[in-house]
A and B are shown apart, each in its own frame.
Chain A
Amino acid sequence: MSARNIEMTVLRYRPEQDAEPYPQAFTVPFTDDMSVLQGLQYIKDELDASLAFRWSCRMAICGSCGMMIDGVPKLACKTFLRDCSPAGVRVEALAHFPIERDLVIVVDDFLAKLQSITPYIVPREARSPAAGEYLQTPQQAALFEQFSACINCLLCYAACPQYGLNPRFLGPGAIALLHRYNMDTRDAGQDQRMPLIHAEDGVFNCTAVGYCSKVCPKAVDPANAVNLNKMESAKDYFLRLLPGARSRA
């Protein structure tokens, strides 16, 4: 495999001295099996050891290396230099998040949102391991499994125009995980979660662009979770107007 060169233009930001981020170009030799992440590692190892970016598993499961690659939110580990334009590739920190340094973003906002959705099973009643596992058919499991595949990489937040405008929006990833627990037959926590769905910063913020699902590297389809909850929320709203109906919100 012969090596060719590609120009990688990386958005740099040094909080201690830069008023704003600036691009820096590096010439990187690459082979056809090299990822954008491996290109960045080459820069860090051989050209500029100060370049900051998060990575770990390099197999698209830890969710660390989300970044904008030629303007599109992607995982650097499974985006290949061979697929980038021969003219070069632009690598920037994920959109819509504050930059900590270079390609590293501040993720506190997502963690707070994750905490807020009651992201765990709320059991109907206490159950000890001695009672054995819950029974759940493959059909029942299929209702939530897809949404449980979220790796928290935040590409969907970088893709969401609404999150860019209103950072209080619960957002695609957190809504997908909220829906994952609501759909789980082991869970009885729906009543705790639905107020977040109905709320001002809940699902009706979404303008149904669907870009979140397009960029999701794990086919979670958060847009679908948002849509299903829009219907659920609307149904809830109208049911409340019926005589004798009990409000769930």
Chain B
Amino acid sequence: MDQYQADVVIVGAGGAGLRAAIAVAERDPLARIALVSKVYPMRSHTVAAEGGAAGVVQAHDSLEHHFHDTVAGGDWLCEQDVVDYFVAHCTEELVQLEHWGCPWSRKADGHVNVRAFGGMKIERTWFAADRSGFHILHTLFQTSLKHPSIRRFDEHFCVELLAAEGSTRGVLTIDVASGEFVLIEAPAVVMATGGAGRVFRENTNGGIVTGDGMALAYRCGVPLRDMEFVQYHPTCMPGTGILFTEACRGEGGLLVNRDGYRYLQDYGLGPPSDAPRNKFMELGPRDRLSQAFWHEQRKGRTFEGEHGSVVHLDLRHLGAARLLERLPQIYELAREFLGIDPALTPIPVRPAVHYTMGGILVDGRCAAPLPGLFAAGECSSVGIHGANRLGSNSLSELCVFGRVAGEQALEHARSRPLLAAHAAGTRRQAQQAMERALLPLARQPGRERLSAIRTDMAVSMERGCGIYRLGSEMQTTCDKLATLVERCDRLGVGQRSRLFNTEWLLALELGHQLDVARAMAHSALERRESRGAHQRLDGFEQRDDINYLKHSLATVGADPAGPPRISYGEVRITHSPPGLRAYGAAGEAAAAAAAPSGAVA
């Protein structure tokens, strides 16, 4: 087993992990940083984000507007002090990215341009055409190469978060190429491993999005917060789930059903108008749009396609020139994957799982209850997304909280360095973790196939924890997941050599996915109300602020192979009491009523 020492080890080298690493390197060039990623950094899933990143820049916009859009968009399940910090720091982070070379799209006068996005009152989404995540990731990765103190462990798969005596000690990883174990000891660990959308069947996520960091923290007793809130993005490619960005609608794209009717007007988002109107119709939030699709499907007003029901995303009126300027990747995806020219033909779309609002419980400093553990980005629940994330908040989150996590981890490492006395215990622990990770290789491969368990999980999650949920179906999913955990524990790997053994790593990933899936399903089952992305149809159709204006917490039980324990934590409300969450004309009326002086909040 190879061994390294670092001051801060960061697991995950997407947007959040890279931003954390740069933050540490800038603050203390002598600090030893280990940046671990199971893929090369530029393959991380940040790369696939399309639409853009939110940051207030326009004179008629304000931090208060961004705050309110975010908190109402999250159906009041947000940590309001954290949202305050977030909106106050988005713009400086996006400017910082600009200084590092991010090619944000510009206005003719040379200033950065912004576009409209769903649920946002005023245009504040910075964009680099429709490749915003790609450019953010490559800008951060290439900028990170400036810092010799960042030691990269590319293609190293993290199998265990090591903790003892109530604090972190480092991580154990597998060097994918050699199959050898590598122990990285560090007093501070930053998890930045991204989301877990691959536990569902139809999703927009890359194959690597398997919730590893969430599972690793969970196994150390750290609660996963608000895991029942899983976002369905309304406009995805049927079959593959490939994303057509919300920016399609920000630029003026329309959603129509089989009758050519803009059906969103039937779901509290109207009235329709010719010009796009913020927070109306197609610029409503993702949860509401995905729910509207579900109803249209039930009413038989969708088109039937090879991969299920679809509606049409109509971009034709924007014209080829505008599409090529603002949405070149969408143009390319439609043409190459669907054989459709979106300037001439509407794009068939349907909802698919996109984002996990919940994640590793951390406070506003990105610190988890386990001292020494920090988390940032989609794997974390810092508290800004609540029950439904607004598009373009997550790319800003990567930067704002990636930096915070890096700086806080460095502080922690300085004040509580590892002691020589810890070393023997850490190595013993790593040895045990190594033996556990080797179990799938030690078992004889039987009849059980990894892909079959993975598919069963994804189908069951889709059935039980989809856009609308029923208690009985969620219970069935919980039960099914328990049997899948048992099946996974019997899984043997056919390839015996450890050299680049993807079969082995997939088995370990599947274990992570099942832990995360169980946290989602059990948290969902226990939440007896409807809020944001968690919508029930079995007598709990309303939001219930008396009993459930609370964060769910899924914690590993006494039996680690058993179901999670579900408990609840308080929501921090500073200055926006829960109100009516409305969009379209109803939203405008509600906002006017809340601000009788005429100053619409």
Interface size classification for chain B: 35 or more
Give the residue of B96, B106, B146, B306 whose beta carbon is less than 8 angstroms from that of A137: B106
A-B contact count, CB below 8 Å?
Answer: 156
Q: Are A56 and B43 in contact (CB under 8 A)?
A: yes
The answer to whether the Cβ of A21 comes within 8 Å of any Cβ in the partner chain is no
Q: Are A145 and B208 in contact (CB under 8 A)?
A: no
Per-position binary interface string of chain B over residues 89-102, scored 1 when its CB falls under 8 Å from any chain A CB and 0 otherwise: 00011011011110
Q: What is the bound-complex CA distance between A60 and B306, given in angstroms?
A: 22
Q: Are B146 and A61 in contact (CB under 8 A)?
A: no
The answer to whether the Cβ of B495 comes within 8 Å of any Cβ in the partner chain is yes
Within 8 A of B (CB), among A78-104: 78, 100-101, 104
The answer to whether the Cβ of A243 comes within 8 Å of any Cβ in the partner chain is no
Give the residue of A53, A62, A123, A177 whose beta carbon is less than 8 angstroms from that of B206: A62
Q: Are B451 and A45 in contact (CB under 8 A)?
A: yes
Task: Contacts A57-B48, A62-B42, A133-B112 given; indicate if A120 touches B143 (C-beta within 8 A).
Answer: yes
Q: Are B337 and A120 in contact (CB under 8 A)?
A: no
Q: Are B207 and A127 in contact (CB under 8 A)?
A: no
The residues of B that contact A63 with a CB separation of less than 8 Å are: 42-43, 47
The residues of B that contact A121 with a CB separation of less than 8 Å are: 99-101, 143
Give the Cβ gap from B496 to chain A, nearest Cβ, in Å. 9
Choose the segment among A22-30, A163-171, A179-187, A233-241 that binds chain B (4+ C-beta atoms closer than 8 Å): A179-187
The answer to whether the Cβ of A231 comes within 8 Å of any Cβ in the partner chain is no
A contacts with B: majority SS: loop
Q: Are A61 and B99 in contact (CB under 8 A)?
A: no
Q: Are B103 and A33 in contact (CB under 8 A)?
A: no
The answer to whether the Cβ of A193 comes within 8 Å of any Cβ in the partner chain is no
Task: Contacts A45-B451, A49-B503, A58-B242 given; indicate if A184 touches B98 (C-beta within 8 A).
Answer: no
Q: What is the bound-complex CA distance between A67 and B506, given in angstroms?
A: 21
The answer to whether the Cβ of B135 comes within 8 Å of any Cβ in the partner chain is yes
Q: What is the bound-complex CA distance between A141 and B100, given in angstroms?
A: 14
Choose the segment among A148-156, A205-213, A221-229 that binds chain B (4+ C-beta atoms closer than 8 Å): A148-156
Task: Contacts A46-B451, A63-B43 given; indicate if A115 touches B92 (C-beta within 8 A).
Answer: no
Q: What is the bound-complex CA distance between A145 and B48, given in angstroms?
A: 18
The answer to whether the Cβ of A129 comes within 8 Å of any Cβ in the partner chain is yes
The residues of A that contact B99 with a CB separation of less than 8 Å are: 121, 123, 127, 129, 133-134, 186
The answer to whether the Cβ of B333 comes within 8 Å of any Cβ in the partner chain is yes
Q: Are A49 and B495 in contact (CB under 8 A)?
A: yes
Q: Are B145 and A57 in contact (CB under 8 A)?
A: no
The answer to whether the Cβ of A5 comes within 8 Å of any Cβ in the partner chain is no
The answer to whether the Cβ of B583 comes within 8 Å of any Cβ in the partner chain is no
The answer to whether the Cβ of A247 comes within 8 Å of any Cβ in the partner chain is no
The answer to whether the Cβ of B165 comes within 8 Å of any Cβ in the partner chain is no
Interface size classification for chain A: 35 or more
Task: Contacts A129-B99, A135-B111 given; indicate if A61 touches B329 (C-beta within 8 A).
Answer: yes
The answer to whether the Cβ of A157 comes within 8 Å of any Cβ in the partner chain is no
The answer to whether the Cβ of A244 comes within 8 Å of any Cβ in the partner chain is no
Q: Are B332 and A49 in contact (CB under 8 A)?
A: no
Q: What is the bound-complex CA distance between A134 and B103, given in angstroms?
A: 11
The residues of A that contact B106 with a CB separation of less than 8 Å are: 136-138, 141
The residues of A that contact B472 with a CB separation of less than 8 Å are: none
Task: Contacts A49-B494, A61-B329, A120-B142 given; indicate if A100 touches B177 (C-beta within 8 A).
Answer: yes
Task: Contacts A129-B99, A135-B111 given; indicate if A60 touches B332 (C-beta within 8 A).
Answer: yes
The answer to whether the Cβ of A198 comes within 8 Å of any Cβ in the partner chain is no
Q: What is the bound-complex CA distance between A236 and B109, given in angstroms?
A: 33
The residues of B that contact A57 with a CB separation of less than 8 Å are: 43, 45, 47-48, 206
Give the Cβ gap from A46 to chain B, nearest Cβ, in Å. 7
Q: Are A62 and B103 in contact (CB under 8 A)?
A: no
Q: Are B110 and A135 in contact (CB under 8 A)?
A: yes
Question: Which residue numbers of B lie inside 8 Å of A, CB to CB?
Answer: 39-40, 42-45, 47-48, 92-93, 95-96, 98-101, 103-104, 106-112, 131, 134-135, 138, 142-143, 145-146, 154, 177, 206-208, 239-240, 242-243, 306, 329, 332-333, 336-338, 449-451, 493-495, 497, 499-503, 506
Give 14 pairs: A residue, B residue, CB < 8 Å, sorted on A. Answer: A33-B337, A45-B449, A49-B449, A52-B500, A59-B242, A59-B243, A60-B332, A62-B45, A100-B500, A111-B40, A121-B99, A129-B92, A136-B110, A149-B131
Q: Which 7 A-B pairs have the closest CB atoms?
A: A135-B110, A45-B451, A56-B206, A50-B495, A101-B500, A129-B92, A119-B142
